[in-house]
Amino acid sequence: MDLRDTPEEAAWRQEVRAFIAKELPRSFKDEPLEPEDVAGLWDHPDMQTWRRKLVERGWIAPSWPKEYGGAALTLMQQFIMSEEMAGARAPAVGGMGISMVGPSLIVHGTEEQKKKFLPTILSGETFFCQGFSEPEAGSDLASLRTRAVRDGDDYVINGQKIWTSQAHRANWMFVLARTDPDVPKHKGISYFLLEMKAPGILVRPLRDITGGVLFNEVFLDNVRVPAKNIVGEENRGWYIAATTLDFERANSASSVVIQRHRAKDLIRLAKEGGDQSVLGRNPGLRLELADRMIEVELARLMAYQMVSMLGRGLIPNYQASMLKLFASELGQRISRTGMNVLGLYGGLYGREAPMKGRISRSYLSTLGSTIAAGTSEIQRNIIATRGLGLPRQ
Ligand SMILES: Cc1cc2nc3c(=O)[nH]c(=O)nc-3n(C[C@H](O)[C@H](O)[C@H](O)COP(=O)(O)OP(=O)(O)OC[C@H]3O[C@@H](n4cnc5c(N)ncnc54)[C@H](O)[C@@H]3O)c2cc1C
């Protein structure tokens, strides 16, 4: 297998590089934002400028068809773009609207829904959060109990969601609710688009281990949602959700790209100061860093495998679970190695710390990555049964 760029891919890589060199706002080049800097990503004054530049080219949602404001890029082109963007530390502009709901609407939405939501997702006016998990329904999502009952032209929703990332900032939520409690659990769920300002929605932020707020509890008390905001047919929401979750898992490929740069940054940091460097004083770290680099390259190959399968029209199955499992655990290992490189400085968390506190923050924030979007145990079960053909317990 030849993993080098084809001439076309190399030309594309150059085009992306030239764009970044010309258009990425100076402030991001001087002070790059990382995924951990969630608040910074939102509030940064240059974020709108950067978004506009990407929108102009359709690069904000590169995989969407051109008629919906995308660039209809191939998966390999997108992957190369992610590599270059991550390499330049360009902040990701997007969110769940771009990566999950938009693509799901393109496949399953009505024309009216596409016209209403796709342009405003691109412009940033519509920002979605994901109302799937509930206190008693996470891994076993189909057990969800939030109810939606038809009442004239509306549905009335009652229930509770939890771990709803960004619900305190989002103005729309894609939400699953039970519309028929008397059929097998997968067959009585519907998928709705709900405006967060609708009366009866209470969002209660949950402070997480980083000290910040990423996710929330969301209480739904007689919330009315117009029937036209159902995606797909009533009681077929589980299958639409499966499409959305496929798009969510595909995101693991881009996380690999960021990890590669993080591991390289650590090596650079460990080498600083020559004989007096951390590496000079702690030769054992050499092996640890080498392991991380090998793992990063492995994850990259797994990401290529996914991209190439998708490009050939194949649907990754246990392969997606392998990548999700490996990449999320690798993110944690990289952060732990980072803490070993930092030594006592690892206790510093603010921007005055080495690497602006990024490692200490990711040491905490990556803890959730082996839970979010399907826990490691669930991924291992999928690999065991579908990949290895082992019997179900
Ligand atoms: C950072 C973060 C962000 C999130 N954002 C969102 C969001 O925006 N929207 C949203 O809807 N949800 C979100 N979630 C929720 C996430 O999807 C759930 O936490 C996840 O699916 C696990 O569900 P649970 O927490 O209910 O744990 P449970 O499903 O109760 O699992 C508890 C433990 O039991 C294990 N377990 C469960 N079933 C099995 C099994 N069959 N075999 C073996 N082990 C099993 C699990 O692996 C886990 O260790 C987020 C979570 C995190 C951590």
Q: d(Cα 329, Cα 340) in Å, to the nearest integer? A: 17
Among the listed residues 317, 132, 319, 342, the one whose alpha carbon sits nearest the alpha carbon of residue 241: 132
User: Left, alpha or beta for 357 (phi > 0: left; psi -120 to 50: alpha)?
Assistant: left
Q: How far apart are CA 76 and CA 11, in angstroms?
A: 13
Minimal-distance CA residue to ligand 1 atom 48: 375
pLDDT recorded at residue 190 = 98
- Nearest atom (ligand 1) to Cα of 141: 21
CA-nearest residue, atom 3 of ligand 1: 372
In this predicted structure, what is the pLDDT of residue 235? 98
Pocket test for ligand 1, best of 136, 329, 371 (most atoms within 8 A of CB): 371
The residues with which 172 forms a beta bridge, in sequence order, are 128, 195
Return the ligand 1 atom nearest residue 167 CA: 8
CA of 135 to the centre of ligand 1 (A): 10
Query: Are 87 and 76 a contacting pair, CB within 8 Å?
Result: no
- Identify the residue whose C-alpha is closest to ligand 1 atom 20: 138
């008397």: which residue's tokens? 182
CA 130 to centroid of ligand 1, rounded, Å: 14
Q: Measured between alpha carbons, how far is 73 from 76 in angstroms, rounded to an integer?
A: 8
Q: Which residues line ligand 1 (CB under 6 A)?
A: 129-133, 138-139, 163-165, 214-215, 368, 371-372, 374-375, 377-378, 381
**Ligand 1 pocket test, candidate residues 163, 203, 328, most atoms within 8 A of CB:** 163
Cβ(124)–Cβ(155) below 8 Å: no
Strand partners, 196: none
Best mutation site among 375, 378, 390 for ligand 1, i.e. most ligand atoms within 8 A of its Cβ? 375
Give the integer Cα–Cα distance in Å for 382 and 317.
8
pLDDT at residue 184, as a whole number? 96
Token pair for 323: 């990548």
Of 170, 171, 162, the closest CA to residue 206 belongs to: 162
Q: Say whether 183 sits in a helix, a strand or coil.
A: coil
Give me the residues of the chain with pLDDT under 70, please.
1, 30-42
Q: Which of 190, 228, 191, 239 is nearest to 113 (CA)?
A: 228
Q: Which atom of ligand 1 is closest in space to residue 208's alpha carbon?
A: 1
Atom of ligand 1 nearest to the CA of 137: 26
Place of tokens 């019997």: 391
Residue 68 CA to chain centroid, in angstroms?
21
Choosing from 132, 133, 210 the residue with most ligand 1 atoms within 8 A of its CB, the one to mutate for a pocket test is 133
* Ligand 1 atom nearest to CA at 161: 11
Among 37, 2, 24, residue whose Cα is nearest residue 81:
24
CA distance 315 to 329: 23
Cβ(243)–Cβ(191) under 8 Å? no
- How many angstroms separate the alpha carbon of residue 80 from the centre of ligand 1? 31
- For residue 375, the CA-to-ligand 1 centroid distance in Å is 6
Identify whether 23 is a catalytic site residue: no
Q: CB of 312 within 8 A of CB of 319?
A: no
Q: Using an 8 Å Cβ cutoff, are 233 and 189 in contact?
A: no
- CA 125 to ligand 1 centroid distance, Å: 29
CA 255 to the chain's CA centroid: 8
Beta bridge partners of 213: 207
pLDDT digits (tens, 9 = 90+) for 342-358: 999 998 887 788 888 88
Task: State in Å: Cα 87 to ligand 1 middle.
Answer: 31
Model confidence, pTM: 0.92
pLDDT tens, residue by residue, 193-238: 999 999 999 999 999 998 889 999 999 999 999 999 999 999 999 9
Per annotation, catalytic residue among 83, 84, 134, 248: 248
